[in-house]
């Protein structure tokens, strides 16, 4: 599995893919740093470019660790609403990860990550974060006092179609097969 994951990173290096959204221009691109894969979604909304990122890394022989999912929190700062919040951007990134990994890694590969506390429980209850991951098939496990993680095997996880920035429902992008489509 490790060899497949590392080869996948080589193939994904430098991919830039436009993504159709009704609000203007958007795109998905990859950043590879050693054994880390960063899927970055960027879109221009109301004259400002916003980015969200899903980061993973190889963890052990048969595990992929979801390091972070950033850029879609409810607030950009203490008062400014985030235009990506609740707009399907996080779902699009997770769907893209599942579509891409599903073509390379075995069904028994484990994806896991720490469930971090939300920026503000007023705007985003912890239950909302749990439900977000559960809809893909992840389980929530307790691993210490107040600590939780999401965990699932690739073969049991599914994409969850959702509208992206007000457009049609999307299941994500299979990054490894982009070059086969003209």
The domain limits of the chain are: 1-181
Contact 67, 55 (CB under 8 A): yes
What is the pTM for the complete model shown? 0.91
Alpha helices for the chain (secondary structure H): 2-12, 89-101, 126-134
Token digits of residue 124: 């985003």
Residue 173 to residue 181: CA distance in whole angstroms: 12
Cβ neighbors of 122 (< 8 A, separation 6 or more) are none
**42-94: pLDDT as tens digits:** 998 777 888 999 999 998 767 999 999 988 876 777 777 777 788 899 999 99
Percent helix, percent strand, percent coil in the chain, to nearest 5? 25, 35, 40
What CATH architecture applies to the domain 1-181? 3-Layer(aba) Sandwich (3.40)
Question: pLDDT class for 21, splitting at 50, 70, 90?
Answer: confident
């Amino acid at each position: 599995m490790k060899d497949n994951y590392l080869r996948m990173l080589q193939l994904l290096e430098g991919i830039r893919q436009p993504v159709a959204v009704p609000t203007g221009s958007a795109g998905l691109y990859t950043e590879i740093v050693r054994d880390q894969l960063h899927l970055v979604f960027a879109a221009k909304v109301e004259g400002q470019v916003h980015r969200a990122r899903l980061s993973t890394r190889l963890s052990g022989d048969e595990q992929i660790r979801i390091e972070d999912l950033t850029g879609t929190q409810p607030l950009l700062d203490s008062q400014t609403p985030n235009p990506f919040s609740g707009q399907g951007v996080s779902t699009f990134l997770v769907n893209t990860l599942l579509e891409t990994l599903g073509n390379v890694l075995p069904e028994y590969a484990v994806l896991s990550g720490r469930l971090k506390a939300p920026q503000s429980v007023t705007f985003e209850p912890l239950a909302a974060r749990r439900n977000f991951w559960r809809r893909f098939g992840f389980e929530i496990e307790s691993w210490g006092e107040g600590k939780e993680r999401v965990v699932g095997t690739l073969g049991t996880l599914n994409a969850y179609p959702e509208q992206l920035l007000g457009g049609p429902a999307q299941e994500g992008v299979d990054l490894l097969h982009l070059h086969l489509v003209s």
